[in-house]
Amino acid sequence: MSTITTSDGAQIYFKDWGTGQPVVFSHGWPLSADAFEDQMFFLASQGYRCIAHDRRGHGRSSQPWDGNDLDTYADDLAALVKALNLRNAVHIGHSTGGGEVARYIGRHGTERVAKAVLIGAIPPLMLKTEANPGGTPIEAFDQLRAAVLADRSQFWKELSLPFYGYNRPGAKISEGVRDSFWLQGMMAGFPASYFCIKAFSETDLTEDLGRFDVPTLILHGDDDQIVPIGASAMLSFKLIKGATLKVYKGAPHGMCTTLKDQVNAELLAFLK
């Protein structure tokens, strides 16, 4: 297996396909690098080097108790970029991975970054606060924590429905996609499954977005039931200088899977 070891001893698994300009993928919670395989295979076939890692605590990476926070996730990403000596890289982040990309740029700058893409991403802040009245109330995240503690296997099965918009009338449900979501979720360790909820909901990434100085594409579905568009993409678009926003009508959170052909074409056009 391809892994790097971080400064605190965590082993981070990654897959590295193709040759050419590097495209680095950061996945969402509770998934793994496998969530981006449709994009990786397509872009690697188009002459790009596609790299995706399993975030610490997720997938095939170590399951440490500590470090399930966006600062550490961003530093792990920086360690991977440095270990592989990636330059002129395009960073693509989905959901929590979009927060990872934002914090990576906020903490490590854009010296090695050519472009950025945020898909269904959590920035600037998911949690409802006085300063962020459009956010999601803390009670919703407490419910996620309770569900993880109670029976996370069943919870992943149930979460796959709104994640892919399969709970909408007339939705064409793929039980295979649901099984893959469940499998990836069960590969995430219990600490990451639980602690990452605080990381993705309570981390304010407003200042990080202000440090973006590379071409940035924001993709978001207007029927995203996991990361509502109003408190995320619509605000990030205003905070990132010169960003391009594409709103996918009726698209769910898991649009990289349900609308993979459209997303793949969008990404290729942006890379070119």
Q: So which residues are the catalytic ones?
A: 95, 224, 253
CA separation for the pair 188, 238 (Å, rounded): 33
CA separation for the pair 49, 223 (Å, rounded): 31
Beta bridge partners of 218: 118, 245
Tokens of 145: 């924590």
Angle (nearest 5°) at CA 162 between 158 and 163: 95
CA 250 to chain centre: 20
CA separation for the pair 118, 114 (Å, rounded): 14
CA separation for the pair 191, 72 (Å, rounded): 14
Per-residue burial over 12-25, b if 16 or more Cβ lie within 10 Å, else e, is bbbbbbbeebbbbb
Per-residue burial over 194-227, b if 16 or more Cβ lie within 10 Å, else e, is bbbbbbbbebebbebbebbeeebbbbbbebbebb
Number of helices (H), then strands (E), belonging to the chain: the values are: 10, 8
